[in-house]
Amino acid sequence: MDKKIGLASETIPKEHLDRLSEWIKTYPRLTQGEKVVEFESLFAKYIEVNDSTFINSGSSANLLMATTNLLFKGLRNKKVGIPALSWSTTVSPFILLGYEPHLLDADPINLGINIDSLYKLIKEEDIATLILVHVLGHDSSIEKVLDICQEFDIRLLEDTCQSLGSTISGKCLGSFGLASTFSFYFYH
């Protein structure tokens, strides 16, 4: 086996490219058209949430989520718990907007946050917001985290960019928190 496997390869079948080519000739608008509105509605229905907003990337979605979190009433402070196992695109929007990020240890089983680390952070820092990153389809102990967030009045946000379609107890990840982000990047 001496075939090299490249970092990236062609991922869109020719028949899809042909169909896209034909469609774009009839509707040369690539953003915010009626198809986007239809998609947003269908996606919200699929994950069983009230609304969905389509934007260019999961990274931009995280920035939008961090921004809108500031707009909701009752944010007692700008302290946010963020999993140590996450990406710059998860933490940087919060830093950019003046939040005080606190990293949480990872759970070795589900790659989410360590629950003991979360309790310790709540005691020491009184975080007002928690963002979960559902890594590789894992649920990040979401059911335990929900109870903790309710008990300590913590806003829960979900970065579900790597877990589109994953469920726990029949409910889609990304439908538990106040807001969530997703990505349709093909490697996810």
Condensed to tens digits (0 to 9), the pLDDT of residues 94-128 reads 999 999 999 999 999 989 999 999 999 999 999 99
Tokens, residue 25: 């000739």
Cα 70 to Cα 53: distance, rounded to the nearest angstrom: 18
The pLDDT score that the predictor gives to residue 138 is 85
Cα 77 to Cα 129: distance, rounded to the nearest angstrom: 8
User: Does the pLDDT at position 56 exceed 90?
Assistant: no
Q: Which helix (H) or strand (E) holds 39?
A: helix 34-47
Q: Which helix (H) or strand (E) holds 130?
A: strand 129-133
The structural domains of the chain, ordered by start, are: 30-181 (3.40.640.10)
Contact present, 134 and 166 (Cβ < 8 Å): yes
User: Distances from the Cα of 169 to the Cαs of 68, 104, 124, 127, 172, in angstroms?
Assistant: 28, 25, 32, 27, 9
User: CA nearest 160: which of 178, 177, 140, 174?
Assistant: 174
The pLDDT score that the predictor gives to residue 105 is 94
Question: How do residues 142-186 score in pLDDT, each as one tens digit?
Answer: 999 999 999 999 999 999 988 888 999 999 999 999 999 998 876
Tokens, residue 65: 């989520």
Question: How do residues 25-55 score in pLDDT, each as one tens digit?
Answer: 887 776 778 888 999 999 999 999 999 999 8
- pTM as predicted: 0.84
B/e letters for 35-52, b = 16+ CB within 10 Å, e = fewer, are eeeeeeeebeeebebeeb
More confident residue, 22 or 71: 22
- The sign of the torsion formed by the CA atoms of 43, 72, 100, 123 equals negative
Burial class (CB in 10 A: 0-12, 13-18, 19+), 64: middle
